[in-house]
Structure 1
Amino acid sequence: MAENCIVSVNPKPSKGLSSKLLDLVERVVVKLMHDASLPLHYLSGNFAPVRDETPPVKDLPVVHGFLPVSELFNLHTPYPFPRKVLIRLFYISQECLNGEFVRVGPNPKMIHAVRIKDGKATYVSRYVKTSRLKQEEFFGAPKFMKIGDLKGLLGLLMVYLQQLRTKLKVLDVSYGHGTANTALVYHHGKLLALSEADKPYVVKVLEDGDLQTLGMMDYDKRLTHSFTAHPKVDPTTGEMFTFGYSQTPPYLTYRVISEDGFMHDPVPITISEPIMMHDFAITETYAIFMDLPMHFRPKEMVKEKKMVYSFDPTKKARFGVLPRYAKDELMIRWFELPNCFIFHNANAWEEEDEVVLITCRLENPDLDMVGGDAKEKLENFSNELYEMRFNMKTGSASQKKLSPSAVDFPRINECYTGKKSCVNVIDAKTMSAEPVAVVELPHRVPYGFHAFFVTEVLKPKPIIIYIFFTRDATLTTRGSCLGRNNSRNKLLHKTSCVHNYIICYMLL
């Protein structure tokens, strides 16, 4: 695929009287919107973003153990940094360990990365050079509306301010306004930084570990809608499956991208009203979409002082199963289950007449975590591991809870996306106490969400990092180098935690 899929991002914002007047109005609205006496927890401690970029810092001190170079290991250990961290390396060799661990978000657009090569480590942090970032650097201040602003009547005023800034050409939205800070994926030789409100940004990993934003990916102008932060790459075909959701019809659009980077025609999917759909899933035959009652309702936002996306507990949860190469939505099958919301799915596969989805299910979602009693809201934020089954023959649907513990951000061995797995239970208390290596970074790294390991030989031998959380605040990380044809490396690809036990799903 030609490199002209990558669009150079050069927005043209403008300063002037209009900009200054709108800034003045915004300051008044923000003052009314936010209680200045309340603590800003999300901007304090390690939740606070790191403001300055860090160019490559080479030869980081290894304060414990050593980074493997070419030998093989099968070691495991918890290490207090700052909580218990378990790092386990399976059959690690120099070839597959050489690469770069990259982690993004929720800090604004910054990627933190550790480059590992020949037994040495390099740290770097760089902003993804989005159109939004370039314009806010031009003004020296934030100018774009955020989803947290969209609450109540004042939220409507923030929408009008955004529209005025665009109409008066204070802001240039011709290159979108996304943050590219949610997740990362590698496809067709490109590392993509993603956020679901915009198109992907292409980031190049340089030889010294540095990161360079090349531009926005528009697939030869075939991508005209938003792009999920959680596309799925089929490990067998090399294709990438994705979707975008919108506040205007079509509310949902499905896309297939070939192994060589060609984006096929859009498949609009009909749903009754605009929703938030953060993730989806694929099997070897189907794509699974989630029409869940987290609705976009600006009228309720204004009248009832709610967030613009609000959960409707009276509606059922709907799951659409579509043949993944369908040219239209005529063959989609819809299934209903009790109402819920889902941020992240773990995996999906097929068993005879059934399509099986493993997911993290929320019973009482509330996106307004900064309004009201945050502690009470967090206690009600019960995210549990569920198995859902959709019978393509009878049209019936069922679900069962797999774990009573709160879980989210599931990761699998992505070489087995869409394939069946079984279950292993491991006693976390019996694991060894010595890490393979602990590397000291030049400064703190804020808490984040999604990460990815880019290997030097990415296609044949990806390295997968697994991060699992337990009730006792133990962070468990598993790493593995997996070759496509390496049968002995059929390793762990999913986990949930019950008290001191880690429940892991072993690949067949």
Structure 2
Amino acid sequence: MTTTSPTTASASDAPAPHMAGNFAPVTDELTAYDLPVTGTIPPELTGWFLRNGPNPRDAATPHWFFGDGMVHGLRLEGGRAVSYRNRWVRTATLTEGARPVDAQGRRNLAAGVANTHVVRHAGRTLALVESSFPYEIDCRPGHELETIGVHDFGGRLTTAMTAHPKTCPVTGELHFFGYGGPTPPYLTYHRADASGELVLSRPIDVPGPTMMHDFHLTARHVVFMDLPVVFDHSRPGMPYRWDPEYGARLGVLRRDDPRGAVRWLSIDPCYVFHALNAHDEGDRRIVLHVARYADFGDGTPAHLWRWTIDLDTGTVAEEQLDDCFCEFPRVDDRLAGQPARFGHATTAELPGTGPIPGALLRYDLEKGGVVRHDFGPGRTPGEAVFAPADDRPGGPGWLLTYVYDASTDASDLVVLDTEDISADPVATVHLPQRVPYGFHGNWLPDPAS
């Protein structure tokens, strides 16, 4: 095992919740090989499991969302845990101290922490945060997780990029948006083709600057969520506030008319960080599943809800599906924008909530019901990513997640069989250091030869 770039994270006698326990950063970049495994890693799993999250390098940050991005990667091949490594994303903010706004008030979209997600499109692996450009990282043998640099689609991208782009499994197109900034346009919709070329950027008129973290894609529509968390530069730390007077609405845009009118439909005030999935139901209905908060910033947990848009009446039916707290909802990405029977979500602590029994949830979105995997006292999972067992979308597979054990102050990669997630793990890979709680990641299988 080798160690590089040691640093010292700041600490205090009473750290903020997002700097305490397993929210606190790790200080070293490690590389370890031939990791110990309990159980058997499915031999079909050959590729990278990557997860991004905030890991402040030199100092505490005023909010969990603002730490420097660090990608944790586990390489699996032929039933072996070949290697683990963690690397900071070498953004201009990390290496040069770049600021989002310079002394002349100009926005620098290369200045960001790239700490929220890591996705692959058109052969590029991108670390994302919604306030800036993405950064490309290298997953080639011998270059694992090194930062290549800013990716702005050959200079065509002129806004920030959401951390939650959607890849259409039919066309291979990447759909995304950019928001932010104190002046219009507050929202811009983008589309890149399957080869990675940015082919569409169109502003969308919204009343004001809101925090738009995620959106929805179906086979025929794009649906935006304009929700009442509004930009407020006077607030220290997180520069947004809950303002139910702003209203809440969903904006529907036809994919075959991407420069056409956006139809806005009102819903009850709420906030959504993360969408599970969406699909068209016939010609005139759109079904959306979301992790919905009744409020923002008051500690109220999110629950799974279904919204059904009726395009004939211009109304949205809103229905809570479960009373269990859930976040980080995911689906088999090969069914993104298509009807999917199953969805998965995580129950775990967030900064300030205190300990919550960690569990993964598997929802049957067609027949109802939920199956739960509890990890036991002090064991907390992160987001669970679906890895397929074969080429059938919606077929069998595994859930991969990093799990922190408070009793040992260590982390594992846990592999669960989706056919029965309540059963014991198929495999547990024991990691050389803990993985702090973070945000999102992906299973990136090796391309077929």
| Counterpart check, 1:409 vs 2:290 | no
The answer to whether the 8 A contact 1:360-1:407 is kept is yes
**After alignment, is 402-411 or 207-216 more displaced?**
207-216
Unpaired stretches in structure 1, ≥5 consecutive residues: 1-35, 70-92, 137-142, 146-161, 367-376, 461-508
Paired AA for residue 210 in structure 1: E
Structure 1 length-normalised TM: 0.65
| Counterpart check, 1:41 vs 2:17 | yes
Q: Give the match's secondary structure for 2:244.
A: coil
The answer to whether the 8 A contact 2:128-2:135 is kept is yes
For residue 394 of structure 1, report the CA deviation from its aligned partner.
2.0
Deviations 1:218-243 (A, max 9, x none): 11211011000000000111000000
For residue 190 of structure 1, report the CA deviation from its aligned partner.
1.1
Aligned match of 2:26: 50
For residue 435 of structure 1, report the CA deviation from its aligned partner.
3.1
Paired AA for residue 182 in structure 1: T
Deviations 1:356-408 (A, max 9, x none): 11111111111xxxxxxxxxx43xx2312111122112212221111112111
Paired AA for residue 277 in structure 2: N
Deviations 1:70-122 (A, max 9, x none): xxxxxxxxxxxxxxxxxxxxxxx3xxx11110111022211111101122211
Aligned match of 2:434: 444
More helix as a share of residues: 1
Paired AA for residue 124 in structure 1: R
Deviations 1:232-284 (A, max 9, x none): 00011100000000222110000111001111231110011111100001110
Residues in 1 aligned to 2:26 and 2:195: alpha-carbon distance in whole angstroms: 36
Count of aligned residue pairs for this structure pair: 353
Deviations 1:306-327 (A, max 9, x none): 9531111233211100012434
Paired AA for residue 367 in structure 2: V
Unpaired stretches in structure 2, ≥5 consecutive residues: 1-11, 56-67, 341-365, 374-419
Residues in 2 aligned to 1:362 and 1:287: alpha-carbon distance in whole angstroms: 22
Aligned match of 1:183: 117
Q: Give the match's secondary structure for 1:227.
A: coil
Paired AA for residue 425 in structure 1: G
Residues in 1 aligned to 2:125 and 2:421: alpha-carbon distance in whole angstroms: 34
Aligned match of 1:192: 126
Residues in 2 aligned to 1:270 and 1:436: alpha-carbon distance in whole angstroms: 49
The answer to whether the 8 A contact 1:206-1:212 is kept is no
Aligned match of 1:239: 173
The answer to whether the 8 A contact 2:29-2:86 is kept is yes
More strand as a share of residues: 2
| Counterpart check, 1:103 vs 2:51 | yes
Deviations 1:127-170 (A, max 9, x none): 1111111114xxxxxx758xxxxxxxxxxxxxxxx644x78xxx
Q: Work out which of the two has the higher radius of gyration on C-alpha atoms and give 1 or 2.
A: 1
For residue 438 of structure 1, report the CA deviation from its aligned partner.
2.2
Q: Give the match's secondary structure for 1:274.
A: coil
Residues in 1 aligned to 2:261 and 2:108: alpha-carbon distance in whole angstroms: 35
Aligned match of 1:363: 294
| Counterpart check, 1:454 vs 2:384 | no
Alignment equivalent of 1:311, drawn from 238, 242, 260:
242
Once superposed, which parts of structure 1, at least 4 consecutive aligned residues long, lie more than 6 Å away? 429-432
Residues in 2 aligned to 1:449 and 1:265: alpha-carbon distance in whole angstroms: 28
The answer to whether the 8 A contact 1:144-1:177 is kept is yes
| Counterpart check, 1:343 vs 2:262 | no
Aligned match of 1:125: 86
Q: Give the match's secondary structure for 1:406.
A: coil
Residues in 2 aligned to 1:308 and 1:435: alpha-carbon distance in whole angstroms: 41
Deviations 1:294-338 (A, max 9, x none): 111335x4xxx795311112332111000124342x421110011
Deviations 1:176-198 (A, max 9, x none): 21111101111101111100011
| Counterpart check, 1:283 vs 2:218 | yes
Aligned match of 1:88: none
Q: 1:191 to 1:163 in 2, by over 3 A?
A: closer
The answer to whether the 8 A contact 1:280-1:290 is kept is yes
For residue 428 of structure 1, report the CA deviation from its aligned partner.
4.2
Residues in 2 aligned to 1:436 and 1:386: alpha-carbon distance in whole angstroms: 30
Q: 1:384 to 1:124 in 2, by over 3 A?
A: same
Q: Give the match's secondary structure for 2:148.
A: strand
Q: CA RMSD in A?
A: 2.5
Residues in 2 aligned to 1:270 and 1:433: alpha-carbon distance in whole angstroms: 49
**After alignment, is 214-223 or 43-52 more displaced?**
43-52
Residues in 2 aligned to 1:118 and 1:442: alpha-carbon distance in whole angstroms: 21
Paired residues for 1:352-501 under 5 Å: 352=282, 353-366=284-297, 377-378=298-299, 381-421=300-340, 422-423=366-367, 425=369, 427-428=371-372, 434-457=424-447
Q: Give the match's secondary structure for 2:329.
A: coil
Aligned match of 2:73: 113
The answer to whether the 8 A contact 1:361-1:384 is kept is yes
Paired AA for residue 72 in structure 2: H
Residues in 1 aligned to 2:256 and 2:271: alpha-carbon distance in whole angstroms: 26
Residues in 2 aligned to 1:223 and 1:427: alpha-carbon distance in whole angstroms: 42
Q: Give the match's secondary structure for 2:435.
A: coil
Aligned match of 1:465: none
Q: Give the match's secondary structure for 2:114.
A: coil
Q: 1:365 to 1:432 in 2, by over 3 A?
A: closer
For residue 38 of structure 1, report the CA deviation from its aligned partner.
4.6
Q: Give the match's secondary structure for 1:132.
A: helix
Aligned match of 1:298: 233
Q: 1:312 to 1:51 in 2, by over 3 A?
A: same
| Counterpart check, 1:218 vs 2:152 | yes
